[in-house]
Chain A
């Protein structure tokens, strides 16, 4: 798609003080302004948080292995549910995407670095501190937040000492995300190589461009919502209290105005990754590039007007319920366009099945399954039956785990040789994929059944007729969790050594790839300075 024709003026390569290497020692990581270093930091942070959030999930699953309470008390269980979700969403998936963006966007658009390098450092370094504040609440008297990641009042206001810490932590996470998003927008708008028009940008760049707008639009709204929680709890306001003229449901509207676009923030970059990977390993250009861009934009636009599908059971006026049902169902159209485009890209290609491709294919199938259950949830009258049951849990884990997380893993395998200069161990990668796929379905598929049969979510103990499927899900959870250790092994091995990777890495990148493949593997510390020119 993007023909690379060398730098604009090869001999203008004068030294502007830019060709320095990284700072020595640990200071390199603390003070770095380099997009690759910061990308690396984000990705390691995300992996660490994945193990923490996953350990919490395993506590949840262990308690749910059998009916009866065996391991934790209900209050702690609720803390685990809440924290698991906050960690996975804000600590794993979002940072992983930002990490991938940091590493790849400048290389894909032919930029020297991110547009605002110092702020880039701050975006990252806020994260560990914010999570320190949040996780510290688990060790306070009364424990961490236990009202679910949605923080609905009035229950969240009973949160005790944890409440203000969690709120401020969310403020910090929001600030980090907004700065990260601004950086991405500025990089894309200002630092593209000459000749790289918007409609020549790789799709990962496009999806991130749109995601960044979503972030800037909704993270402040979340900040506003939790600020009102804070004042209701500590300063006597009555936003969410009917006695003073407010309404608890008002919080839900504001929260989901953030929350629904948020779930697309968690999936759009994965769409981009898959749209890079499938053409490469099909050795065929992406089908329907333009419609992919329009579909992504439509999804983003629609995401702002569907929020109340999370609150069908709060008793909105009928027109509201109808409106949100119709708009929500509509999202299936642009999403379908994406799925059909992926399948058409494979059609009559010459496919090979390296690990990134396997994860991308797994993504397409299992995300679509999650999308189907989403569509079922979108239908208000039936959602009355599904809402707040494990059917919902099954839905969102399908789009989030074999969806977003598989997308991230696919991206990591895809670019790992580019980053380290070494191929990872393909056999290990394939094992990782197959174990993950088998166990993830064992883990989440039975949740559809228990949900339909009537098991509510967010409960530490359940009636005995749900026992068998819960036992299976728990076995799947431990299997899936331990399979992820293979990812760690594959990454570490590839850092330490392995078969040398060429700049092209995969043979399919010749037909389809972006500018990142024109650089050596590993690429130089400073990507494109001066910039290449795209014809």
Chain B
């Protein structure tokens, strides 16, 4: 370990935001649950919870940004943040893994069984003898009554290009700050954010088209996996883009130094993660 005793690890004295965050989270999720159950107060609780969460996030990150700018954190603390962010991203990867697992399971096991392959012979013979549709499928009962398949051309392909480009621009921005060049840093960030939101916009266009063609969340297993995976990914793109937007504003206000800019790096890591997940999606959801 490189540090010596003159490097005292910073331990904040108190923290009020976590408790507020817990209250907000409870209101948000409890309200959503009540809303799903058809309770009238549900939606109100939910919005209140969301408001509390937003305040909490601003407050908490505000504190941390303040501390960071006043030089409270040295390389020792910085390393903890890096470890934390890295493993947080890993946990997100595993979250996606659950949904990818569902896709693989359905495509290579449950749908073939329903069609009579392998151990599914009697299943097909006695229960679903009329079912013949390989992937994409909305199931033996023809859920949602739509066979529409979202191809990889043109929108998804364009979106792939957009995300890959944004990966380059964010790296460009990173080089900018490392070389102490604010211009490229801010411009790179700006382009990344713009591309991020463009991606989300095009995704929305794609969804609109899908719904127009009858492909919905309720269109059997294809619709379920399609919207779950792309939707969850879209949510992450949105989050990543918001993170980068915050970084953009901080950059404009003169935050970050060539040596220390971990917040930006964390957002960039997240962005690359979102990028890589998209490549998986593009391959497994659209092409194959």
- Measured CB to CB, the residues of A under 8 A from B are 7-9, 12, 14, 16-18, 20, 23, 27, 30-34, 111-113, 115-119, 121-122, 125-126, 128-130, 132-133, 161, 164-165, 167-169, 171-172, 178, 181-183, 185-186, 189-194, 216-221, 223-225, 227-228, 231, 234-239, 241-247, 249-250, 253-254, 257, 315, 317, 526, 529-531
Contacts and interface: CB of A to CB of B under 8 A. Distances in A.
Contact of A121 (B1, B15, B92): B15
A238 B25 contact: no
A530 B118 contact: no
15 contacts: A14-B8, A178-B91, A190-B83, A216-B87, A220-B95, A224-B95, A224-B98, A227-B98, A239-B106, A243-B139, A243-B140, A244-B138, A244-B224, A317-B119, A529-B11
B19 to A, nearest CB: 5
B33 interface: yes
Contacts of B17: 118, 122
A62 B261 CA distance: 61
Contacts of A117: 11-12, 15
A116 B87 CA distance: 13
Contact of B30 (A34, A165, A249): A165
Which 9 pairs show the lowest CB-CB distances between chains A and B? A224-B98, A245-B221, A245-B139, A122-B18, A236-B218, A530-B5, A164-B33, A247-B110, A244-B139
Contact of B11 (A112, A164, A228): A112
Contacts of B11: 18, 33-34, 112-113, 117, 526, 529
Interface of B: 1, 3-6, 8-19, 21-23, 25-26, 29-30, 32-33, 36-37, 60, 76, 79-81, 83-84, 87-88, 90-92, 94-99, 101-102, 105-106, 109-111, 113-114, 118-119, 127-128, 137-141, 143, 216-218, 220-225, 227-228
Contacts of B13: 17, 20, 23, 33
B80 A115 contact: yes
B98 A126 contact: no
Contact of B33 (A32, A165, A235, A239): A165
Contacts of A33: 11-15
Contacts of B224: 231, 237-239, 244, 246
A213 B35 CA distance: 35
Given A122-B21, A128-B22, 15 more contacts: A34-B11, A112-B11, A121-B15, A122-B17, A126-B25, A129-B25, A182-B88, A217-B90, A224-B96, A237-B218, A239-B221, A244-B139, A246-B139, A529-B8, A530-B5
B80 A245 contact: no
A317 B76 CA distance: 52
A246 B217 CA distance: 13
A393 B6 CA distance: 55
User: Is the contact region of chain A dominated by helix, strand, or loop, or is it mixed?
Assistant: helix
A245 B223 CA distance: 10
B221 A171 contact: no
Contacts of B217: 231, 235-237
B8 A112 contact: yes
A181 B94 CA distance: 14
A212 to B, nearest CB: 8
B30 A133 contact: yes
Given A239-B221, A529-B9, A245 B84 contact: no
Contacts of A181: 87
B8 A16 contact: yes
